[in-house]
Amino acid sequence: MSRPVTLFTGQWADLPFETVCRKAKDFGYDGLELACWGDHFEVDKADDAYCRQKLEMLDKYGLKVFAISTHLVGQAVCDNIDERHKSILPDYVWGDGEPEGVRKRAAEEVIRTAEAAKRMGVSVVNGFTGSSIWHLVYSFPPVSKEMIDRGYEDFNKRWTPVMNEFEKLGIKFGLEVHPTEIAFDIASAERTLEAINNHPSFGFNYDPSHFGYQGVDYVEFIYRFAKQIVHVHMKDVAWSLTPKEAGVFGGHIDFGDRRRFWDFRSLGRGDIDFEEIIRALNRIGYSGPLSVEWEDSGMDREAGATEACQFVKDMDFPASGIAFDAAFED
C-alpha cells in the first residue's frame, strides 16, 4: 500500500484553513501536515471543540492529518533570543521579550502542542529546537570544546522536560535537522541524540533538502537513524556545479537570486535523488506519510504543489516482498 502524500501548510499560512483544504484536495493530496501559524492550527484555541471542528473540516474534503508542526515556537526553546523571534512567535509566547521568559513560554507551548495533537488523534509533532551554539558553527575566533559542550547541555536541560511530557502523552517529536538547529547534519544529529540520552520521544523529521547542498549524505542519514525517523518531508534543492557569487552560506542574499550556490526547487526539479530515498525508506520499513514541503521561488506554488503531489505518488513504489531469484528455488 502506498504511503499517504500530504501537504505541509506552513508555506500556505496566508490562506484560510478551509481554502487550503480545498486546494490540497484539488491538487491530489491525501492529507495535511498542519502548521501552528495562520489559522491552520492555533494551539491556544485547541480545546476539544476546536479540534473536532478541524477534523470535521478535513473530513469534508476527504483529508487526514498525520502531524502537527511547531517549527516557529520550537525554535525559541533554546535559541539566543533577539528581535527576529518576535516576528515568528505568538504575542503570548513573546510576552515582554525577555529571553529566558521567551524560552520558558516556548517550551510550555510545545508541550501544549503535544496535548492538542493528542486531541486531534495525531501522534507526531514536528518542529525545530533552536540552538545556543549555531553561531559558533565556523570556528573563528577559535571555539573551545567546552563551549560546544555547554550548548548540548543547554539543549538537554531545556528539551528533556519537554520530551518527558511528550512521553506521558504518547507523542513523538520530530526535529527537522536543519541549519540553525542543534542538529544540522549526521555528526551533529548523533551528538544531539547522545545529549538527550536517546530519549524515546525524540526523533527526526527527515528532510533531504537541508543536506544535499551542505555535502551531507542524505541517504545515509536514513540508514543511520532508521529508528529515530518519525516523519518525512519531501523537498528538493538544486546546487551549482560551478562557482557562484554566494556560496553555501548564502551571501546575505534572498532565496531565488541567481547568484546563489543553492536554492530550493519544486520536487523533481532539483538535485535530490528521490528514488534512492524511497528505496532507503522501504528498507527501514518507514510507512508514515510523505509530506510535501513546497518551496520554489521561481515557480507558481499551485502549479508546483500539484506537480509535486503527482511526482511523489509516482515515485513511491512499494518494497518487494520476495527476492528476485526466488522463482529458481526448489
Q: Is the pLDDT of residue 294 over 80?
A: yes
Residue type, 159: W
Residue type, 66: F
Looking at residue 50, its pLDDT comes to 98
Q: Could you tell me which residue, 320 or 279, shows the higher pLDDT?
A: 279
By the 8 A CB rule, do 123 and 117 touch? Answer: yes
Going by pLDDT thresholds of 50, 70 and 90, the confidence category of residue 326 is low
Looking at residue 101, its pLDDT comes to 98
Question: Which residues span the domain enclosing 110?
Answer: 5-328
Taking residues 302-327, report their average pLDDT.
Answer: 86
What is the tens place of the pLDDT at every residue in 14-32?
A: 999 999 999 999 999 999 9
Taking residues 212-226, report their average pLDDT.
Answer: 98
What is the tens place of the pLDDT at every residue in 69-120?
A: 999 999 999 999 999 999 999 999 999 999 999 999 999 999 999 999 999 9
Domains in the chain: how many in total? 1
Q: Could you tell me which residue, 321 or 318, shows the higher pLDDT?
A: 318
User: 289: cis peptide before it, omega within 30°?
Assistant: no
Mean pLDDT of the chain: 96
Looking at residue 328, its pLDDT comes to 54
Q: Is the pLDDT of residue 131 over 60?
A: yes
Going by pLDDT thresholds of 50, 70 and 90, the confidence category of residue 329 is low
CATH number of the domain to which 98 belongs: 3.20.20.150
What is the tens place of the pLDDT at every residue in 220-256?
A: 999 999 999 999 999 999 999 999 999 999 999 999 9
Residue type, 248: V
Going by pLDDT thresholds of 50, 70 and 90, the confidence category of residue 308 is very high
Looking at residue 324, its pLDDT comes to 54
3-state secondary structure of 136: helix
Indicate if the alpha-carbon torsion angle 71, 206, 224, 248 is positive or negative: negative
3-state secondary structure of 330: coil
Give the cell for residue 55.
477534523
Going by pLDDT thresholds of 50, 70 and 90, the confidence category of residue 330 is low
Looking at residue 2, its pLDDT comes to 85
> What share of the chain has pLDDT > 90, as a percent?
95
